[in-house]
Amino acid sequence: MADPSYIVDGVLTDGEAWVPIATAAPSSADVSFVSTDDGQVGDFSQYMDLVIVGYWQSAGGGTSHSVSMNFNNDTGSNYAIQYFQADGATVYASASTGTACPAASLRQAGGGADIFSAGVINIFDINSGKYKSVLPQSAADWDGSGWVEMNATTWKSQAPITEIDLTTTSGFSAGTRIDLFGVLPRMVA
């Protein structure tokens, strides 16, 4: 097995903090990111945190859609969620327990082929023996009315995260791009 990129000639180096792991450009299909468990870039076990950056649109019609996220194929009621959402006129806040982490609101394709939503999802301490914290943030323009949201979710599992599944009720439109980054710990003093 080859050394990871942060070991150069047997010496530990302090490389980039964010490491690009994978990119998905789905057209309709849902997206899964799975750890490679091989000590290379795609091996989640070497990262402290994961960050997902999405530029996405729903393939369905109607008013709005959303992206949901599950870890390690867990679809039980193991996600404790705090919601904060606003549309420019009204603020919404609530709490619940769900079977998935709400990841983002999406603009629907019927609202315009070039109108996409954007989101950043921070997943903290993915290999710790504690419950995992997730902070999804997203924004969408709905033809003159905007929508922003920030949700704080706790995945009530002590298992390390080895798989992330992003799903929508109607799939993603062509042009959607989702990037997964790993955040490395500081390697040198």
**Domain coordinates of the chain in residue numbers?**
19-40+49-183
Q: Which residues of the chain have pLDDT under 70?
A: 1-6, 15, 61-64, 107-114, 142-144, 187-189
pLDDT at position 59 is 79
Are 123 and 134 contacting, i.e. CB atoms less than 8 angstroms apart? Answer: yes
Contacts (Cβ under 8 Å, ≥6 apart) of 52: 103, 119, 120, 121, 123, 164, 166, 178, 179, 180, 181
Structure tokens at 91: 């603020």
pLDDT at position 10 is 78
pLDDT at position 57 is 83
Integer Cα distance of 82 and 132 in angstroms: 14
Query: Does the pTM of the predicted model rise above 0.85?
Result: yes
Instruction: Tell me the fold of 19-40+49-183.
Output: Jelly Rolls (2.60.120)
Nearest to 104 by CA among 52, 180, 45: 52
pLDDT in tens, 111-152: 566 678 889 999 999 999 999 999 999 988 766 677 888 999
Contacts (Cβ under 8 Å, ≥6 apart) of 172: 26, 27, 28, 29, 30, 31, 56, 57, 58, 59
pLDDT at position 3 is 67
Contacts (Cβ under 8 Å, ≥6 apart) of 94: 82, 83
pLDDT at position 51 is 97
pLDDT at position 73 is 96
pLDDT at position 8 is 76
Contacts (Cβ under 8 Å, ≥6 apart) of 115: 57, 107, 141, 143
Contacts (Cβ under 8 Å, ≥6 apart) of 62: 108, 110
